[in-house]
Amino acid sequence: MMSYASGLSDVPLIGETIGEMLERIAREYPDNEALVSIDQGIRWKYSEFLEKVDELALALMSLDVKKGDRVAIWAMNYAQWVLVQFATAKCGAIMVNINPAYRSFELEYALRQSEIHTLILQGRFKDSDYVGMFYEACPDAIEAQPGRISSEKFPFLRNVVFMGDISYNGMYTWDEFIAKGHSLDKEELKEREKMLSFDDPVNIQYTSGTTGYPKGVVLTHHSVLNNGYTIGSGMGFTSKDRLCIPVPFYHCFGMVLSNMACVTHGSTMIIPSPAFNAEAVLKTINDEKCTAVHGVPTMFIAELKHPNFHKYKYDTLRTGIMAGSPCPIEYMKEVNEKMHMKDIVIVYGQTETSPGVTMTTTNDTLERRVTTVGRTFPHVELKIIDPNTQRIVERGETGEICARGYVVMKCYYNNPSATRQTIDANGWNHTGDLGIMDEEGYVKIVGRLKEMVIRGGENIYPREIEEFFHTNRKIEDAYVIGVPDEKYGEELMVWVKLRDKETMTEEELREFCSGKIARYKIPRYIKFVDSFPMTVAGKIRKGEMREISIAELGLEKAAKIETA
């Protein structure tokens, strides 16, 4: 039997825009809680949530945001993030997710590459000064009036909105922004919505690649809405479910697997804290009587190992998702037993597929849920091919996972060559992941064609970091690899070759990275070398580098950890 599967379903795909779906759900469950933000003391019913979404959509229109304009949000998990997600969809804008771990170097690239018209950003958090980093990237804004930014570097940028009440140069405060929308009539929003189609782009998320710089994945109303609905259905969600969401919204995990899965079923989104805090998650599950919780393996491990774990009750928990990186089997079993999550599921996919393409079910045995990533989504095709011949392999054989259907991205924004390399002429998205499909259609991930490193759920692409290191005048060459880690699954390591007569310490290299690239991209391990292992053709042998590093760092135990 060939490694091909087509997900069957008696339930048709939803042919609505995200705005139409939200209005339908708000009519059906007006008094059900839609969004709870613990830190902010916010508790909105679906009727209230829809009102606030409409208010924000009108505010965006008052800033001359037109259909197809890019509106970026640079913030952690706050209620405003969710409002922006749905308001941009309602007024036809394309929301651009910017990772709050980004620094000025990465922000500048995202603003320029996605041609952002309006940026919404939060205030300082820990050592991240978002306003300061924005000014560093766009000094022209310091002398500008709100709504009148004019920058040669960012020719599309007009507006910046600060998610607070401090008046910064060139920025609207949040209240000023919302008040501007009050000058428009709600009928204007309704007229705008008549112009929209569920095939319109609604979101751009940045994901890197082996070619270096991040690529903007363009997703549609149709792909995001139906992916979220399928995932919510896979967990058995109803309007009675209450989901604790500690995963970041800027990822597909938070935005689709969490938010969209909830809203498509009238369930409740609950934000325990702006950034992950293990005890905040445990307390929220207890206090809010959550029926589900999401997380990457490192989050669940931190929760299970927390010294106050036994202070809280988990008897209301039923389901949830563990995804983002391979999970050690022993922890999956503990989550099932100690957190009462008998119906926890695994989802596999990537940003380019909105993101889910396979999922285990609540009826699958524990063994299936800890050793596979499930079977193909309804309305989605999956095949596993020989990367060399492109032919479908027999079941049980290893090959590259490819997906086709409504889930596949529209394109990489302003990057047709990268789009062609990922989506073939027949519409198949080539994931770059290696997998095996068994006789019953269950898929197991066994490796990656691409060099992507997954550290605690964060997708990290070596080439992007290597290019950054090459901006240091002391460095002649640098190659980044992933090495096994018991806590995060993988950690970054860089091999560095310095120019003749140059010297550098590990601390100096880390200092060079600090404030310029996100913390999680700064390699934990650094090795200074005179040369790199190479093939006869002169290609770097990263596999050999990894083997040498495992031996030198004593990571043999971590390399043997069995994962699902």
CA 127 to chain centre: 22
Query: Looking at the structure, do residues 110 and 159 belong to the same domain, yes or no?
Result: yes
Per-residue confidence (pLDDT) for residue 477, from 0 to 100: 87
Cα 291 to Cα 90, 249, 312, 560, distances in angstroms: 29, 20, 14, 34
Domain range for 457 is: 453-559
Structure tokens at 72: 């970026």
Whether residues 138 and 53 fall in one domain: yes
* Closest CA relative to residue 481, chosen from 470, 468, 465: 465
Give the chain's domain count: 3
What is the domain-level CATH number for residue 191? Answer: 3.40.50.980
Note the pLDDT of residue 535: 59
pTM score, whole prediction: 0.85
Confidence (pLDDT) at 133 = 97
Task: Provide the pLDDT for residue 563.
Answer: 59
Do residues 393 and 529 share a domain? no
Q: Which of 170, 196, 222 delimits the end of a domain?
A: 196
- Could you tell me if 440 and 463 lie in one domain? no
Phi, psi angle pair for 62, to nearest 5°:
-70, -20
What is the DSSP code (8-state) at residue 251?
A: S
Q: Of the candidates 467, 476, 478, 493, which has an alpha carbon nearest to the alpha carbon of residue 547?
A: 493
What pLDDT is stored for residue 540 in this prediction? Answer: 80
- 292 within domain boundaries: no
What contacts 146, CB < 8 A, 6 or more positions away? Answer: 159, 160, 170, 171, 172, 176
| One pLDDT digit (tens) per residue for the chain, 564 residues | 999 999 999 999 999 999 999 999 999 999 999 999 999 999 999 999 999 999 999 999 999 999 999 999 999 999 999 999 999 999 999 999 999 989 998 999 999 999 999 999 999 999 899 999 999 999 999 999 999 999 999 999 999 999 999 999 999 999 999 999 999 999 999 999 999 999 999 999 998 644 467 899 999 999 999 999 999 999 999 999 999 999 999 999 999 999 999 999 999 999 999 999 999 999 999 999 999 999 988 899 899 999 999 999 999 999 999 987 767 677 888 999 999 999 999 999 999 999 999 999 999 988 888 889 999 999 999 999 998 899 999 999 989 999 999 999 999 999 999 999 999 999 999 999 889 999 999 999 876 676 778 888 887 878 789 889 989 999 988 999 999 998 899 999 999 999 889 999 999 999 999 999 999 999 999 999 999 997 554 568 888 999 999 999 999 988 887 655
Residues 151 and 176 in one domain: yes
CA dist., res. 366 & res. 363, Å (int):
9
Query: Of 448, 477, 495, which one is at a domain's C-terminal end?
Result: 448
Judgement on whether residues 441 and 527 belong to the same structural domain of the protein: no
Tokens of 440: 């019953």
pLDDT at residue 211 in the model: 45
* Residues found in the chain: 564
Does residue 176 share a domain with residue 93? yes
Q: Which H, E and C letters describe 266-291, residue by residue?
A: CCEEEECCCCCCHHHHHHHHHHCCCC
Closest CA to 351 of 216, 464, 509: 216
- 219 in any annotated domain: no
